[in-house]
Amino acid sequence: MDWQKLTKQQQTAARVLRHAIDRHALAHAYLFEGPSGTGKREAAILVTQTVFCQSPENERPCMTCRNCRRIASGNHPDVVWIAPEEGAASIKKEQIAYLMKEFAYRGVESSRKVFIIDQAEKLTAQAENSLLKFIEEPHPGTLALLITEHIHQLLDTIVSRCQILSFAPLSDQELRERLKQDGLPNALLKASAALTHDYESAAQLCKMEWFAEARSLVIQLMKRLFKSFSSVLPFIYEKFSPNFDDNQKLTVGLDLMLFWYRDLLSLHLGRQSEVVYEDQMDILKEQLLLWSSEQTIQAMSLVMDARRQLDAHVNGVSVMERLAIKLGGNINEL
Ligand SMILES: [Zn+2]
């Protein structure tokens, strides 16, 4: 992450930070809050590099000096990261005690010290109270960066002592780009981004075997609904339903079906770039020739009805059965 990129992704946060840095007037505590995948950690690293860089240009870090590199790899002696220990649900008082001990001394290599608390909402109440004193009476040269996805879970007393910077959620397009940079498969990431609108959840879905199978089953179902309706019900009983065996999974399945029809609609409107099932373009285009946009919208409302039935705890297999028959009826009206 560099300043140009942060400004592009999070204009407000970047502007506030740049303004403070350019005037040499950074606050002593910032709270970066916002959904996952919005660059809060990267921004914390960038601000820290800006503070410590040995050869900055216009107050922008060079990224190549020893300090910039050590901060990027988490190895700078005057930068302390605190997060829940592996497998632990919270940040404990002892971790804050360690931090305070570390900060009782001047910086090892300079007069500056930065501490970064990741997942700050996971501080225990005790830990938060010890931290509070620390933030209230900061040692000179100390910068605190707190990061959270759940600002409302933090004590008001902590929040009110930090300057809050909100990181805006990513657009679906930005989310897809980030997932792509992570090397996740294109076919899966489009569907997972459309489902979750959240970086962590989308990345997690892409890595689940079940999700790849779910997407493939939905594609098979959509092809059958379109081309060989007589095989649809046996397919639902034997293949589809066993893989969507609880309401949460079936809700995902119905959303994946909805994306199929939404893709048809996007194609009707000439918005090819919005298509989720990019790799199924041949069959989508074939269906596009036969289905009007009215029919497509009608199919979408049938899927949404099915979703509501599921919310009302109707049995999943019956929901799918009824939906398939109605969608089949929609096709037969041609
Ligand atoms: Zn540098």
Sign of the CA dihedral running 55, 6, 74, 158: positive
Residue 141: domain span: 3-169
Cα of 56 to ligand 1 centre, how many Å? 6
Strand partners, 80: 115
- Asked whether 261 and 222 are in contact (CB, 8 A), the reply is no
- Asked whether 112 and 80 are in contact (CB, 8 A), the reply is no
Residue 195 is assigned to a structural domain of this protein:
no
Q: Please tell me the predicted confidence (pLDDT) of residue 198.
A: 81
Out of 116, 145, 169, a domain closes at 169
Residue 291, SS3? coil
Residue 181 is assigned to a structural domain of this protein:
no
Q: Please tell me the predicted confidence (pLDDT) of residue 100.
A: 85
Question: Same domain for 165 and 261?
Answer: no
Token representation of residue 105: 């001394």
- Asked whether 316 and 310 are in contact (CB, 8 A), the reply is yes
- Asked whether 283 and 275 are in contact (CB, 8 A), the reply is no
Cα of 48 to ligand 1 centre, how many Å? 10
Residue 58 is assigned to a structural domain of this protein:
yes
Question: Same domain for 98 and 28?
Answer: yes
- Asked whether 261 and 294 are in contact (CB, 8 A), the reply is no
Cα of 68 to ligand 1 centre, how many Å? 4
Q: Which of 258, 243, 242, 252 is nearest to 305 (CA)?
A: 258
Residue 148 is assigned to a structural domain of this protein:
yes
Residue 196 is assigned to a structural domain of this protein:
no
- Domains of the chain: total: 2
- Asked whether 267 and 275 are in contact (CB, 8 A), the reply is yes
Cα of 23 to ligand 1 centre, how many Å? 19
- The domain that holds 14 is classified in CATH as 3.40.50.300
Q: What is the DSSP letter of 81?
A: E
Cα of 157 to ligand 1 centre, how many Å? 35
Question: Same domain for 55 and 105?
Answer: yes
Question: Same domain for 161 and 265?
Answer: no
Cα of 73 to ligand 1 centre, how many Å? 13
Residue 191 is assigned to a structural domain of this protein:
no
Question: Same domain for 141 and 16?
Answer: yes
Residue 31 is assigned to a structural domain of this protein:
yes
Question: Same domain for 265 and 161?
Answer: no
Cα of 84 to ligand 1 centre, how many Å? 29
Cα of 213 to ligand 1 centre, how many Å? 46
Question: Same domain for 129 and 8?
Answer: yes
Question: Same domain for 103 and 150?
Answer: yes
Residue 183 is assigned to a structural domain of this protein:
no
- Please list the ranges in the chain whose pLDDT falls under 70: 106-108, 329-334
- The domain that holds 296 is classified in CATH as 1.20.272
How distant, in Å, are the alpha carbons of 99, 228, 277, 284, 331 from that of 273? Answer: 49, 28, 10, 14, 26
Q: Please tell me the predicted confidence (pLDDT) of residue 107.
A: 63
Cα of 110 to ligand 1 centre, how many Å? 15
Question: Same domain for 9 and 158?
Answer: yes
Q: Please tell me the predicted confidence (pLDDT) of residue 103.
A: 79
Q: Give the Cα separation of 111 and 105 in Å (integer).
A: 9
